[in-house]
Amino acid sequence: MGRIKVLLVFGTRPDAIKMAPLYLELKRRPEFECLACVTAQHRKMLDDVLDAFGIKPDYDLDLMKEDQTLAYITAGVLTGLGEVLRREKPALVLVHGDTTTAFSAALAAFYEKIPVGHVEAGLRSYDRYFPFPEEMNRCLAGRLAEYHFAPTARNAENLRRENIMGKIFITGNTVIDAMKYTVGDGAFKTPALAALNFTSRRVIVMTCHRRESYGEAIAGIFRAVRRVAESFDDVSVVYPVHLSPYIRETASKILGGAPNILLIDPLDAAEMHRLISKCFFVMTDSGGLQEEAPALGKPVLVLRRETERPEAVESGTVSLAGVDENAVYTCACALLNNDSEYDRMARAVNPYGDGNACPRIADAISHCFGGGSARPEDFCP
């Protein structure tokens, strides 16, 4: 048999971080011909990840434009990727997670009758509008996929309960694999981070950008964070601010001017992981950071009403703080004032695997397309 041609499609910073180690794993194996197509749903933040991992895409749809809509991204991926698929005719298209790129790419492959593999499959909040549009994106991608690479047993059970068609593999999460490439002891490239004293100050890393929180929820979160910064003299808050004009304007209005709140531009993957490894704890509405920070022994306060990662809540690595100003402030103060609560979260076991998700996914694809007697459950961590 010939080499197995696999096309990875991704377009945002988070899914690029999680697909990069899988791309590198497939590239190093002789049984695969591995190609990458980026949509550039995010442009600069995507390019930062590509540079960090040394990846040069074979195709770049270059879709991002000012004030882009979800419909524009979907239509652009369908049209642009369709041409790539007809030219390359891959044996398998791999998409990741819950982005509009993932759903649209899965649909484009389905239209060409090309099998789809869904990496980070089976996450569910069971509320179609929270997170928006991510919950429906991952549900629809799951319906279109034939191969499902679930990070945890709970994710796999979600798929079975929904009678999802295809083969399900439990692999762990590829973001843990990514950290093998990014976390190191090197100095910060960002001058403002290099100037921070991580020994004498407790540094809180914050990210916040979810569309469904636009409005009072975002404002309440920002007010809570400012109160935390004003209440503790030894605390510094570092916020790499998302490029969304709304987020940047609101953050500047509420958080700007506070002497111990540092508002900076988004960081590349290596710089962000280095920052998390040195920080005290993380406050975030990101999905990926709920997996990444616990791998580095850092508690996480989730700035959302729900999470599609309940394993992290149950294991104790994250706590659901919500979006109410007083609730967020109280949760942050609890970690800053209570050493036993902090230690409980910091020492909890990360449920997202051992950093070998990418080899398991590669083995599973090789099994499915190259034969062999292994079963899906043989690839469980």
* 96 tagged catalytic: no
Handedness of CA 284, 286, 291, 295 (dihedral sign): negative
Nearest to 351 by CA among 317, 319, 377: 317
Q: Pick the catalytic residue: 118, 124, 148, 209?
A: 209
CA–CA dist 376, 153 (Å, integer): 12
Active-site residue, selected from the candidate residues 15, 25, 48, 98: 98
- What are the structure tokens assigned to 246, written together? 């709304």
DSSP of 172-228, one letter per residue?
A: --HHHHHHHHH--SPPPSSHHHHT--TTTSEEEEEE---GGGTTHHHHHHHHHHHHH
Q: Is the Cβ–Cβ distance between 357 and 350 less than 8 Å?
A: no
Bond before 133 cis per omega within 30 degrees: yes
| DSSP letter (8 states) at residue 379 | G
CA 50 to chain centre: 15
120 catalytic? Reply is yes
Active site residue 148: no
Contact assessment for residue 213 and residue 247, using Cβ atoms and an 8 Å cutoff: no
Active-site option among 120, 308, 325, 363:
120
Cα 316 to its chain centre, rounded Å, is 19
For 22, the 3-state DSSP assignment is helix
| CB of 177 closer than 8 Å to CB of 143 | no
Q: Pick the catalytic residue: 13, 42, 148, 242?
A: 242
Question: CA 265, 49, 186: angle at the middle one, nearest 5?
Answer: 75
Distance CA 252, CA 380 (A): 45
The catalytically annotated residue of 134, 135, 177, 363 is: 134
242 has catalytic annotation:
yes
Reported as type and span, the H/E element at residue 339 is helix 339-346
Q: Which of the residues are catalytic?
A: 98, 120, 134, 209, 211, 242
